[in-house]
Amino acid sequence: MLERTHIQSSGFDNLGPSDARNGFRVRVRQPNYRGMRVSLLEGIDVIVDRERFPAEGNRILINGREYSHAELDDQIVLRWAVGMTVDVLVDKPGGLEPGVHLVETSIRLRHPYFPPLFRPVSMNDSRHVTIIVR
């Protein structure tokens, strides 16, 4: 079941083997009131404990396939449906320490029916999430 907040508590985890962590993931649900093509996703910025990870350096895992920020523009058929989550993969040597972290996201969307002056729309969220040692 999806949580009300965009940032989901499941899926917040370190990446890589336990002796060689190379980053972490944050799972987010579709924040819009309807589905959209991923080409309309301008990016997802992540901030963990006040350390900023801009969208341009993050990757998106959707439907089992990984996309760079730049590759999203070309995905005119792939959709991010309401009720669907994606994982934001963030490079960070060593990953994150186990424990509770303040996670913030800014999901930037282009609504094609909004005038350019009002695009992109940023949907921001924050919550405390825990990484458990595995």
Residue type, 7: I
Alpha-carbon distances of 74 from 38, 69, 129, 133, 134, rounded to whole Å: 9, 10, 32, 37, 36
Tell me the backbone φ, ψ of residue 73, rounded to 5 degrees.
Answer: -60, -30
CB-CB neighbours of 131 under 10 Å: 17
- pLDDT score of 134: 61
Question: Is residue 76, in this structure, part of any structural domain at all?
Answer: yes
Q: What is the pLDDT of residue 77?
A: 94
Q: Is the pTM of this model over 0.85?
A: yes
Q: How many domains does the chain have?
A: 1
Residue 131 to residue 96: CA distance in whole angstroms: 8
Concatenated DSSP letters for 39-92?
GGEEEEEEEETTEEE-GGG-EEEETTEEEETGGGGG-SS-EE-TT-EEEEEEE-
Q: Does 5 fall in a domain?
A: no
SS3 content of the chain, % helix, strand, coil (to 5): 10, 45, 45
Question: 117 in a domain, yes or no?
Answer: yes
User: Domain limits at 43?
Assistant: 13-125
Q: Is 86 inside any structural domain?
A: yes
Length of the chain: 134
CA distances from 57 to 3, 78, 118 (A): 26, 21, 25
The verdict on residue 1 lying in a domain is no
For each of the chain's 134 residues, which pLDDT tens digit applies? 678 899 999 999 999 998 999 999 999 999 888 889 999 899 999 999 999 999 999 999 999 999 998 899 899 999 999 989 999 999 999 999 999 999 999 999 887 777 677 678 899 999 999 998 76
In whole angstroms, give the CA distance from residue 3 to residue 51. Answer: 24
**How distant, in Å, are the alpha carbons of 108, 111, 113 from that of 49?**
20, 30, 35
